[in-house]
């Protein structure tokens, strides 16, 4: 009996180990660069249009960066404004939480026989000394790192857009002459996938803001606009983001003293919006350009969180879409591209490339 060789699987496993290990240890360098690269693909059409109208490239790019800053600043201001309104009710929220907590402790005492004093001792045993000081230190360190990464991201974004022709020629120089046209088409397809996903996701989030805002306002939820914006923004993390946003909204509404019917209304609003998103918004707005099957999507989110944390979860889907395009166009990697892709619908023909 012939024993199968383990050389090729070993090489693949070694390559994956180096890839994810290197990505993990180079997180501080790669995360701002990858975010900048995806934003550059999104802003490229606008920058190119301004340049065709006679704008200098540097000025056109600076206008695009200013537009990004205005959008991010506007959303941040809206959230900060709503949080300040929510903070005014902090006292009543705390009182409601204490009442609910007392009810929960009473239920545990009656059901499981654990007295309230024992519950308090259990909770206190899990609180390390200096917890508040450690939390403040962690938050300050995280804020400093976030600001540094943001500045780096904008620098990378400007340079990627400004040097895009030079970078494209560099990639083509790495490819044999007969494959240059094919390589250029693959780069074009990758850029189109990223543009379609990011633009479609942005439009879908805006639609979700409206839908959640209407639903929460009808229910009478306090700071409805804040929860609508939060639930919409968390949609950038598939599966996990929408559940997290809705759970946070339910808990906060409960803590604000909302009735059971209001809590059920929030859950019903979430269900209706998810139905509209799945069967109307995603097919019309996002489309099927990033067609990744659910198993690979969940695995990508888990791996992204392990390697890069929350940014990894956000970047997982567009990176998987780009990886699928590359695998589909490299014959030895086509089985991987097939594995990554979703189940094709019968009778649906693949669209050709168009400039």
pLDDT of 153 reads 92
pLDDT of 348 reads 46
Q: Which tokens in the block code for residue 256?
A: 């604000």
pLDDT in tens, 322-348: 888 888 888 888 888 888 876 655 544
Packing angle, helices 224-233 and 180-219, rounded to 10:
160
pLDDT of 50 reads 94
Cα angle 130, 134, 137 (rounded to 5 degrees) comes to 145
pLDDT of 58 reads 94
pLDDT of 138 reads 57
Q: How far apart are CA 281 and CA 274, in angstroms?
A: 10
Which residues face 292 on adjacent strands? 341
Packing angle, helices 180-219 and 260-276, rounded to 10:
150
Cα angle 167, 172, 177 (rounded to 5 degrees) comes to 165
pLDDT of 135 reads 45
pLDDT of 335 reads 87
DSSP secondary structure string, 137-180? Answer: HHHHHHHHHHHHHHHHHHHHHHHHHHTHHHHHHHHHHTS-GGGH
Q: Which tokens in the block code for residue 301?
A: 């989110």
Q: How far apart are CA 200 and CA 35, in angstroms?
A: 17
The dihedral sign for the CA sequence 167, 168, 171, 177: negative
Q: Is the distance from CB of 77 to CB of 229 less than 8 angstroms?
A: no
The gap from C-alpha 219 to its chain's centroid, in whole angstroms, comes to 28
Phi/psi region, residue 123 (left: phi>0; alpha: psi -120 to 50; beta: rest), is alpha
Q: Residue ranges of the alpha helices (H) in the chain?
A: 7-25, 27-52, 57-88, 90-112, 116-125, 131-162, 164-173, 180-219, 224-233, 240-255, 260-276, 294-308, 310-329, 334-340
Q: Which tokens in the block code for residue 31?
A: 């995360």
pLDDT of 15 reads 84
List the chain pLDDT tens, one digit each, 355 residues: 566 667 777 887 888 888 888 989 998 899 999 999 999 998 999 999 999 999 999 999 999 999 999 988 888 888 888 777 777 766 776 677 777 677 777 777 677 767 767 666 665 655 554 444 554 565 555 566 778 888 999 999 999 999 999 999 998 898 888 888 888 888 888 888 888 888 888 888 888 899 999 998 998 888 888 888 888 888 887 777 778 888 888 888 877 777 778 888 889 999 998 888 877 777 776 655 566 788 888 888 889 889 988 888 888 888 888 888 888 888 888 888 888 876 655 544 444 444 4
């Amino acid at each position: 009996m012939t024993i199968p060789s383990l050389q090729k699987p070993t090489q693949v496993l070694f390559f994956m180990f180096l890839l994810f290990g290197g990505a993990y240890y180079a997180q501080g360098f790669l995360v701002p660069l990858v975010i900048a690269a995806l934003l550059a693909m999104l802003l490229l059409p606008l920058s190119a249009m301004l340049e065709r109208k006679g704008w200098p490239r540097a000025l056109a790019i600076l206008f695009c960066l200013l537009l990004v800053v205005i959008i991010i600043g506007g959303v941040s201001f809206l959230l900060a404004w709503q949080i300040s309104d929510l903070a005014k009710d902090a006292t009543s929220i705390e009182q409601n939480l204490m009442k609910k907590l007392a009810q929960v402790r009473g239920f545990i005492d009656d059901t499981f026989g654990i007295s309230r004093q024992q519950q308090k001792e259990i909770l206190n045993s899990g609180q390390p000394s200096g917890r508040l000081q450690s939390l403040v230190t962690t938050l300050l360190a995280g804020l400093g790192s976030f600001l540094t990464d943001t500045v780096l991201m904008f620098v990378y974004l400007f340079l990627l857009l400004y040097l895009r022709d030079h970078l494209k020629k560099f990639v083509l120089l790495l490819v044999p002459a007969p494959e240059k046209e094919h390589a250029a088409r693959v780069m074009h397809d990758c850029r189109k996938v990223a543009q379609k996903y990011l633009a479609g996701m942005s439009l879908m989030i805006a639609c979700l803001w409206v839908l959640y805002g209407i639903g929460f306002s009808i229910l009478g939820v306090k700071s409805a606009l804040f929860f609508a914006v939060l639930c919409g923004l968390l949609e950038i993390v598939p599966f996990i983001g929408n559940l997290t946003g809705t759970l946070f909204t339910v808990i906060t509404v409960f803590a604000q003293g909302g009735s059971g019917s209001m809590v059920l209304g929030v859950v019903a609003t979430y269900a209706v919006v998810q139905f509209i998103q799945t069967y109307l918004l995603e097919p019309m707005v996002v489309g099927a350009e990033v067609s990744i099957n659910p198993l690979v999507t969940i695995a990508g989110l888990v791996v992204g969180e392990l390697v890069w944390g929350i940014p990894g979860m956000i970047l997982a889907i567009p990176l998987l879409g780009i990886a699928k395009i590359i695998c589909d166009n490299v014959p030895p990697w086509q089985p991987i591209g097939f594995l990554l892709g979703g189940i094709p619908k019968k009778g649906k023909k693949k669209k050709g490339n168009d400039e």
